[in-house]
């Protein structure tokens, strides 16, 4: 029998369980079915974004531009439909934009060899600026009735489970299948583990890296559609928020190391659940937004500190350029 | 005619400068500086008055504030980390300053101190977590970004109204915010002081080097004993303090605690750092780069604001420039060494007359013979690479070895040996001075001295920097051979200033006068270059008149004479021209003439190639280095010549069994001792008819009483 090891993933899971238990015992209404669904619904979009981030992080990259992919292409759909274009045309334009964005990101990282942090930092800024200048009249793009054919993405539910949660589950299943069963998924792990080794063994590393960013952009845009459908609008100023940091935390806390090649969809789910539980519990406790951030940050700090004690790194094992 | 043109073109066109300029460290900053100039030109065309003093002073004020934060971020990036929490630290320290000033009504000095301390504390949290607990910088500062920001939001909830209502009117505080000296804003002055210190710190001081070393390779830094954890922690602390400085000036200028202060600042600061060319991953960066990056970012944002461009355009331009600069910079840094290695080797035109015959029946003094066949071996297999050999007055034999030692063999049979002194670099030429100090030229290190007590001392490792040279030629790269004048001055040759010792064949491929003769005066402890532009000057020997030295130019295949005293001081005269081989060391013979080693013989292919610089350039660019045409050093001889430039005799060994190659020879008590830089032995040859009591240093310095 394998002894469960104290990996970061397990530590975070333990914290989640402990937190969940404490909240269930001491918070009235926390453990109700309604609240559980609300909890999940609130973090579903974050979870989907986490999946996109996970694909890139497993391949030893990072995608800061996810929020731009979340805001701009879905915003474009809403805006185009609002101004009288047909739904397929709007979807097509948004899809083309998303693909182009992912391809450019990937090309810059894989072929121009710009570090992913900078590529996506800049390209995210660029896309957000482009949206502001060229696409949107107002900061919040409204959901127009012509789009109701897509409302199932975020509205309603199935057997009492809200759609965003279902969408998260669906996306998780799809990404898990892709990562674990397809050859390309295996390539991503190989590249994340050792890019040079992967290249030497004949894996087309550069195209696969491009694919990672295209996938991330598509997942980001999907999350954006789910969000737009569930809140009936697209607040494009979301780009200015610290949402991207939450996404990174979900991924890293779940146990997907930033040095790549480790972790999977399970880790994203665990990370999402932890964040969701914390936020939900604090909302019930009526902690202010800043207070929630403070507590969230401190809990995360404790999590990675514990990890550093349980799995210490030193000057010999640390990887160069590993930030 | 055509060849004449070629020779003129290579004499007057400085081909070698391109490679030397490119290999300067400051060319790494070239791309950011060009971007900065381009940005400045574009905006000064588009906006009237963009570059007026008033506008510049305003830019300088903001540049100073952000500049401090960029400096901190640069430090952290150079040490191999990243600090995303600067925006939140900026907000918190801004709040701290205003809280102390407006609500606690503290004096300005106390406010400054406390704010800096708070900034340091916030940075120290990062530093302890990342430095000592080995957390990942990215994720840790991401979390502190959130925590600090939340703390700030909670604080301003309670105090923002009070702070907004206060209007402190303190002259010193106002001076920080809006004052200037001779039109230069106060913040720019402080920034300049900090930047200059930062530059000196990073480039000249030990802790600065530690930071760069850790960023370059954390493991190597750790293994070489650098306190890695403490240094990293200190860098984050410094980042916090520098951010606090920026926030102090910001607080003094605006005096507000709005909710969006410092939001996204980390992006701006990161952009500035990367635009300046500070590479993520560590080990590379400078204050100048941080400054250039800051200016680019500010010029762009201010310019676009003045042009009243919408926020989106602002973002797009900034992002576009960031991407473009990062792309070019990465290409440039990646390929710079490849480009340098392609253009650094710059051959010149070098024509020599037809080689004199060395045929056995040619009747010349160079005629081949087998006189050295009877050479006996000393220290066979026990010594490696004795470039030069020397004997002292007690008949002890000294030779250098590749392992960085001077080896001493004891008379009479020279079977017993010991390590006389360990130096650490490869010893080349050697000479004893009047007080029996052994002066040694060490390749890559300079001129060293071993006292009779076996103490190794550095005589000199640098000379005066020549003004017109792009390469820093003050360090001695390849001190080769030396001799000591009667007044104690040491004249030594430096074979090339463009290559390291192991690259000497490449210098032969260039055949440019890259070498020089340097004089070290032990009495005044000064070192001056006396002759430049020599083609691989090698052997040096003080001539019989005591006023001049004879020196060999290996690639010039000549021996020349340089007067350092007497009526002809400073003059150079040709002694031997058009030798059939490449001359190496020169030493005194017992009959008043000179021995000269020819380390290798000329070959028609290289002679021809030396007249075709274009051919050699193509070779250097297109072929791998082991396929280049190099001077042959497989076989050589010893010749004897007199001061009139007549070659008297030559000693050859056509078989080369006992002593394969010759770089040096010393006559001592009727024997000739031979050294060779690729040999594992020292040769000893009985000279027929030579003075059996000849001891070089008895002749030079007088017999000891």
Report in angstroms the alpha-carbon separations of B660 from B376, B386, B633.
12, 13, 10
Nearest Cα of chain B lies from the Cα of A290 at a distance, in angstroms, of 5
> Which residue in the set A124, A130, A252 is minimally distant from B139, CB to CB?
A252
Lowest mean pLDDT among A187-191, A264-268, A308-312, B254-258: A308-312
Task: Evaluate if residue A310 carries a pLDDT over 80.
Answer: no
| Residue A22, C-beta contacts closer than 8 angstroms, at least 6 positions apart | none
Domain B12-341 -> CATH class? mainly alpha
Residues of chain A with pLDDT > 90, as a percent, come to 33
- Kindly state the average pLDDT of the residues A99-120: 90
3-state secondary structure at position B639: strand
Task: Evaluate if residue B92 carries a pLDDT over 90.
Answer: yes
- Kindly state the average pLDDT of the residues A212-237: 90
Nearest Cα of chain A lies from the Cα of B424 at a distance, in angstroms, of 29
- A242: chain B residues, CB-CB within 8 Å: 145-146, 149
> Which residue in the set B139, B330, B334 is minimally distant from A304, CB to CB?
B139
Q: Do B82 and A289 touch (CB under 8 A)?
A: no
> Which residue in the set B140, B150, B312 is minimally distant from A304, CB to CB?
B140
The number of helix segments (H) and strand segments (E) in chain A equals: 12, 4
Q: Do A301 and B319 touch (CB under 8 A)?
A: no
**Domain span(s) for CATH 2.120.10.30 in chain B:** 371-379+426-657
Domain coordinates in residue numbering, chain A:
32-309
Lowest mean pLDDT among A202-211, B32-41, B407-416, B518-527: B32-41
Q: Do A323 and B280 touch (CB under 8 A)?
A: yes
User: Taking CA atoms, what residue in B is nearest to A136?
Assistant: B312
> Which residue in the set A112, A291, A313 is minimally distant from B154, CB to CB?
A291
Q: What angle do CA B676, B677, B682 make, to 5 degrees?
A: 40
Lowest mean pLDDT among A5-14, B454-463, B521-530: A5-14
For residue range B575-587, what is the model confidence (pLDDT) as tens digits? 999 999 999 999 9
3-state secondary structure at position A138: coil
Lowest mean pLDDT among A60-74, B19-33, B669-683: B19-33
Pick among B76, B150, B260 to test the A interface (most A CBs inside 10 A): B150
- A289: chain B residues, CB-CB within 8 Å: 153
- Kindly state the average pLDDT of the residues B615-641: 89
Task: Evaluate if residue A6 carries a pLDDT over 70.
Answer: no
Question: Under CATH, which number does the domain B371-379+426-657 receive?
Answer: 2.120.10.30
Residues of chain A with pLDDT > 70, as a percent, come to 93
Residues of chain B with pLDDT > 70, as a percent, come to 100
Q: Do A320 and B218 touch (CB under 8 A)?
A: yes
Q: If we measure between CA atoms, which residue out of B345, B470, B328, B475 comes closest to residue B26?
A: B470
Here the tokens at position B156 are: 């301003």
- The pLDDT, as a whole number, for residue B263 is 80
- Kindly state the average pLDDT of the residues B637-656: 92
What is the number of other CB atoms lying within 10 angstroms of the CB of residue B5?
A: 10
Nearest Cα of chain A lies from the Cα of B35 at a distance, in angstroms, of 17
For residue range B405-440, what is the model confidence (pLDDT) as tens digits? 999 999 989 999 999 999 999 999 999 999 999 999
Cα separation, B521 vs B510, in Å, equals 31
Q: Do A323 and B81 touch (CB under 8 A)?
A: yes
What is the number of other CB atoms lying within 10 angstroms of the CB of residue B289?
A: 25
- Kindly state the average pLDDT of the residues B673-689: 92
Q: Across B451-578, where does the E strand assignment appear?
A: 456-460, 479-484, 490-494, 515-521, 526-534, 537-542, 548-553, 558-563, 572-576
Task: Evaluate if residue B519 carries a pLDDT over 80.
Answer: yes
- The pLDDT, as a whole number, for residue A316 is 57
Cα separation, B382 vs A10, in Å, equals 62
Lowest mean pLDDT among A126-130, A137-141, B354-358: A137-141
Cα separation, B345 vs B16, in Å, equals 7
Q: Do A294 and B150 touch (CB under 8 A)?
A: yes
- Kindly state the average pLDDT of the residues B106-110: 88
DSSP lists the bridge partners of residue B405 as B422
Task: Evaluate if residue B2 carries a pLDDT over 90.
Answer: no
Cα separation, B660 vs B680, in Å, equals 10
> Which residue in the set A112, A125, A308 is minimally distant from B319, CB to CB?
A125
Adjacency order of strands within the sheet including B376-378: B376-378, B682-686, B671-675, B664-668
- The pLDDT, as a whole number, for residue A299 is 77
**Domain span(s) for CATH 1.10.3470 in chain B:** 12-341
B137 neighbors B130 (Cβ within 8 angstroms): yes
Bond from prior residue into B412 cis (ω within 30 degrees of 0): yes
- The pLDDT, as a whole number, for residue A1 is 43
- B327: chain A residues, CB-CB within 8 Å: 108, 112, 114
Here the tokens at position B104 are: 């606690």
Q: What is the dihedral of CA B152, B158, B162, B163, to 10 degrees?
A: 0
- The pLDDT, as a whole number, for residue B488 is 93
Report in angstroms the alpha-carbon separations of A51 from A45, A229, A271, B40, B268.
10, 19, 11, 43, 28
- Kindly state the average pLDDT of the residues A180-195: 92
pLDDT band at B703 (very low <50, low <70, confident <90, very high): confident
Q: Do A293 and B322 touch (CB under 8 A)?
A: no
- Dihedral (CA of B451, B456, B457, B461) sign: positive
Pick among A61, A115, A129 to test the B interface (most B CBs inside 10 A): A129
User: Taking CA atoms, what residue in B is nearest to A118?
Assistant: B323
> Which residue in the set A113, A121, A322 is minimally distant from B270, CB to CB?
A121
> Which residue in the set B136, B319, B330 is minimally distant from A126, CB to CB?
B319
Q: Do B327 and A297 touch (CB under 8 A)?
A: no
Instruction: Pick A26 or A323 by higher pLDDT.
Output: A26
- The pLDDT, as a whole number, for residue A2 is 54
Lowest mean pLDDT among B37-41, B383-387, B580-584: B37-41
Lowest mean pLDDT among A110-124, B2-16, B174-188: B174-188
- Kindly state the average pLDDT of the residues B87-106: 90
B664 neighbors B565 (Cβ within 8 angstroms): no
**A·B CB contacts under 8 A:** 165
Task: Evaluate if residue A107 carries a pLDDT over 90.
Answer: yes
């Amino acid at each position: 029998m394998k002894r469960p090891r104290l990996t970061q993933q397990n530590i975070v899971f333990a914290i989640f369980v402990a937190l969940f238990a404490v909240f269930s015992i001491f918070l009235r209404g926390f453990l109700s079915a309604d609240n559980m669904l609300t909890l999940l619904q609130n973090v579903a979009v974050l979870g989907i974004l986490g999946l996109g981030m996970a694909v890139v992080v497993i391949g030893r990259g990072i995608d800061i531009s996810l929020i731009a992919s979340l805001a701009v292409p879905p915003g474009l759909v809403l805006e185009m439909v609002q101004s009288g274009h047909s739904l397929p045309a709007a979807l097509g334009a948004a899809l083309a934009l998303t693909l182009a964005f992912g391809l450019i990101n990937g090309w810059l990282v894989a072929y121009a060899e710009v570090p992913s942090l900078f590529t996506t930092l800049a390209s995210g800024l660029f896309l957000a600026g482009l949206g502001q200048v060229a696409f949107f009249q107002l900061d919040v793009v409204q959901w127009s009735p012509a789009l109701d054919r897509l409302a199932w993405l975020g509205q309603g539910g199935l057997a009492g489970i809200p759609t965003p949660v279902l969408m998260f589950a669906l996306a998780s299943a799809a990404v898990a299948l892709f990562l674990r069963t397809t050859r390309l998924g295996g390539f991503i792990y190989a590249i994340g583990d050792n890019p040079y080794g992967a290249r030497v063994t004949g894996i087309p590393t550069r195209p696969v890296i491009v694919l990672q960013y295209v996938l991330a952009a598509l997942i980001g845009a999907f999350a954006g559609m789910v969000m737009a459908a569930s809140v009936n609008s697209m607040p494009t100023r979301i780009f200015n928020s610290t949402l991207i940091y939450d996404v990174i935390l979900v991924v890293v806390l779940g146990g997907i190391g930033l040095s790549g090649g480790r972790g999977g969809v399970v880790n994203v789910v665990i990370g999402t659940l932890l964040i969701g539980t914390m936020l939900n519990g604090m909302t019930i406790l009526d902690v202010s937004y800043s207070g929630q951030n403070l507590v969230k940050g401190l809990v995360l700090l404790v999590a990675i500190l514990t990890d550093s004690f349980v799995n210490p790194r030193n000057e010999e094992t640390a990887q160069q350029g590993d930030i | 005619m055509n060849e004449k043109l070629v020779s003129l073109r290579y004499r007057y066109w400085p081909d070698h400068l391109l490679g030397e300029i490119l290999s300067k460290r400051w060319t790494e900053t070239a791309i950011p500086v060009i971007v900065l100039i381009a940005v400045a030109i574009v905006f000064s065309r588009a906006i009237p008055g963009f570059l007026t003093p008033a506008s510049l002073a305003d830019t300088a004020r903001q540049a100073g504030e952000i500049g401090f934060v960029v400096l901190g971020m640069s430090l952290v990036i150079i040490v191999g980390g990243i600090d995303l929490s600067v925006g939140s630290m900026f907000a918190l320290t801004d709040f701290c300053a205003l809280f102390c000033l407006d609500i606690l009504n503290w004096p300005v000095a106390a406010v400054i101190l406390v704010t800096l301390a708070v900034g340091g504390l916030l940075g120290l949290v990062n530093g302890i977590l990342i430095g000592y607990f080995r957390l990942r910088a990215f994720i840790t500062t991401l979390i502190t970004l959130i925590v600090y920001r939340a703390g700030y939001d909670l604080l301003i909830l309670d105090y923002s109204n009070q702070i907004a209502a206060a209007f402190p009117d303190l002259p010193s505080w106002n001076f920080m915010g809006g004052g200037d000296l001779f039109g230069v804003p106060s913040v720019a002055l402080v920034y300049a002081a900090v930047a200059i210190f930062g530059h000196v710190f990073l480039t000249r001081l030990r802790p600065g080097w530690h930071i760069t070393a850790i960023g370059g390779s954390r493991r190597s830094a750790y293994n070489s004993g650098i306190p890695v954890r403490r240094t990293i922690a200190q860098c984050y602390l410094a980042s916090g303090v520098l951010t606090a400085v920026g926030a102090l000036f910001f607080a003094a200028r605006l005096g507000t605690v709005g909710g969006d202060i410092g939001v996204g600042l980390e992006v701006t600061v990161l952009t500035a750092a990367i635009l300046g060319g500070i590479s993520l991953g560590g080990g590379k960066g400078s204050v100048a780069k941080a400054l250039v990056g800051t200016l680019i970012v500010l010029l762009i944002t201010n310019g676009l604001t003045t042009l009243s461009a919408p926020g989106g355009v602002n973002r797009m331009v900034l992002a576009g420039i960031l991407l473009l600069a990062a792309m070019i910079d990465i290409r440039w840094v990646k390929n710079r060494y490849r480009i340098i290695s392609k253009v650094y080797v710059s051959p010149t035109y070098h024509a020599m007359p037809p080689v004199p015959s060395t045929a056995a029946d040619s009747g010349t003094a160079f005629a081949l013979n087998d006189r050295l066949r009877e050479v006996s071996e000393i220290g066979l297999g026990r010594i490696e690479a004795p470039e030069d050999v020397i004997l002292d007055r007690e008949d002890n034999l000294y030779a250098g070895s590749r392992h960085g030692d001077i080896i001493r063999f004891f008379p009479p049979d020279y079977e017993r040996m010991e390590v006389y002194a360990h130096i650490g670099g490869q010893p080349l030429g050697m000479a004893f001075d009047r007080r029996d100090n052994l002066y040694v030229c060490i390749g890559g290190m300079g001129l060293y001295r071993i006292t009779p007590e076996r103490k190794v001392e550095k005589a000199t490792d640098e000379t005066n920097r020549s003004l017109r040279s792009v390469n820093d030629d003050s360090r001695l790269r390849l001190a080769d051979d030396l001799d000591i004048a009667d007044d104690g001055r040491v004249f030594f040759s430096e074979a090339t200033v463009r290559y390291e010792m192991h690259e000497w064949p490449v210098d032969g491929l260039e055949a440019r006068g890259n070498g020089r003769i340097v004089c070290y005066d032990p009495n005044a402890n000064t070192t001056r270059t006396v002759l430049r532009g020599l083609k691989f000057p090698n052997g040096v020997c003080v001539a019989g008149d005591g006023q001049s030295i004879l020196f060999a130019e290996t690639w010039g295949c000549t021996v020349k004479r340089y007067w350092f005293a007497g009526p002809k001081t400073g003059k150079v005269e040709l002694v031997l021209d058009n030798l059939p081989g490449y001359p190496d060391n020169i030493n005194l013979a017992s009959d008043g003439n000179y021995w000269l080693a020819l380390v290798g013989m000329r070959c028609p292919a290289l002679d021809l190639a030396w007249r075709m610089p274009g051919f050699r350039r193509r070779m250097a660019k297109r072929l791998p280095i082991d396929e280049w045409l190099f001077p042959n050093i497989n076989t050589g001889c010893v010749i004897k010549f007199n001061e009139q430039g007549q070659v008297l005799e030559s000693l050859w060994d056509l078989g080369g069994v006992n002593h394969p190659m010759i770089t040096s020879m010393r006559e001592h008590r009727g024997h000739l001792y031979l050294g060779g830089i690729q040999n594992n032995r020292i040769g000893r040859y009985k000279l027929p008819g030579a003075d059996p009591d000849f001891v070089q240093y008895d002749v030079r310095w007088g017999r000891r009483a």
